[in-house]
Each structure stands twice: as structure tokens, then as C-alpha cells.
Amino acid sequence: MNTGGNKLWTIVENDTFRECREKHCSDCKKFDDITKGVTWAISRAPEGFPEIESTGVRIIKNVKYGKNPVYRFFYKILDANRVELLHFEPIPED
């Protein structure tokens, strides 16, 4: 995984991501806690996660912790400094 040294990428949210967050976010602090690890990882090494073939869209999910739900996050590298969060969806529990 190429982390680019100490480089931190800027993360931006598109409208769809914001709308999805408003729909699923009954407790925004809890959602922020859930996504903290995801945004930390993306901001340091966005190239390190799987890409949906030929789309440029990448996928990462948060780690299951306690009763917190697991989400699949979709994002795209915009340029050499910015990553755009596109959408997220809950992953059903088995």
C-alpha cells in the first residue's frame, strides 16, 4: 500500500453522501465515531482499497464494534490531493 509518506488527502462529501447520511443518521455522533476509522484510512492511503473494475470507484467498510452497524463506503480519487465520498450503505448482519 502506497501511503505517500506523511501526505494526508482531503476528503470531500458529495450531495448523495450527505443525503444518505441524513437518512441513516439518527445519532450523528455515533455515525461520526463509526466512520472515524474509515476516513482516517482513506485520508492516508486511498489507493489501498479495492476498486470496482474500470469505474474508479473504491470500496471500504468499517469494522464491526459492539452494537454499531457495519457500512460499505464508496469513494473516488478526484486528483492528487482529494478523495470524494460518494455513497454508503448498511451491510446486513448474518
- Residue 5: the pLDDT is 60
pLDDT at residue 1, rounded to an integer: 46
pTM of the shown model: 0.86
Query: Could you list the pLDDT tens digit for every one of the 94 residues in the chain?
Result: 444 567 899 999 999 999 988 887 777 788 888 889 999 999 999 999 999 999 999 999 998 888 888 999 999 999 999 999 999 998 988 6
Q: What is the pLDDT of residue 74?
A: 98
Domain limits of the chain? 10-90
Does the domain spanning 10-90 belong to CATH 3.40.50.11290?
no
Checking 74-82 for CB contacts under 8 A at 24+ apart, the result is 75/11, 75/42, 75/46, 77/9, 77/46, 77/47, 78/12, 81/9, 81/10, 82/9, 82/10, 82/11, 82/12
